[in-house]
């Protein structure tokens, strides 16, 4: 008698005696039967009992593919959100002038490099290179 017939016969007799599915799975896996074979025997029992075949899942590995596509979609969403937010803040900064931040200082490096000495007020050229620029 083959192993699958032994387990199928045992499942049939145990189920006719009213043994629960969890008890059967625990008992048979405790005796060294692979859990997959036990579940296949239970499926065969319920197929005979109902007269219908249990539907099988057609594709495998879709969870990893779906997880990759979800990750890709969220990364794309994050990139676009940051880009659109940056664009929106740039447009707001250009259209609404902030009077407190309007006086920005710009260093003119070429003016510092042109001459080394004091200007007509007696101030060093290093401070003369700083210009006040307003937009």
Alpha-carbon distance of 46 to 55, in angstroms, equals 12
Alpha-carbon distance of 92 to 82, in angstroms, equals 15
* pTM reported for the whole predicted model: 0.42
How many whole angstroms from its chain centre is CA 20? 40
Alpha-carbon distance of 33 to 29, in angstroms, equals 5
> pLDDT band at 16, cuts 50/70/90?
confident
Q: Which residues pair with 106 in a beta bridge?
A: 131
pLDDT, position 80: 97
């Amino acid at each position: 008698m083959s192993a699958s017939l032994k387990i199928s016969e045992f499942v049939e007799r145990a189920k006719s005696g009213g043994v629960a599915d969890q008890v059967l799975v625990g008992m048979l896996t405790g005796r060294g039967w692979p859990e997959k074979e036990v579940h296949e025997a239970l499926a065969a029992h319920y197929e005979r009992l109902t007269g219908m075949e249990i539907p099988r899942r057609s594709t495998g590995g879709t969870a990893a593919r779906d997880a990759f596509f979800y990750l890709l979609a969220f990364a794309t969403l994050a990139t676009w959100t940051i880009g659109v937010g940056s664009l929106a803040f740039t447009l707001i900064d250009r259209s609404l002038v902030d009077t407190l931040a309007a006086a920005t200082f710009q260093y003119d490096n070429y003016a510092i490099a042109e001459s080394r000495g004091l200007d007509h007020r007696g101030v060093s050229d290093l401070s003369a290179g700083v210009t006040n620029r307003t937009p």
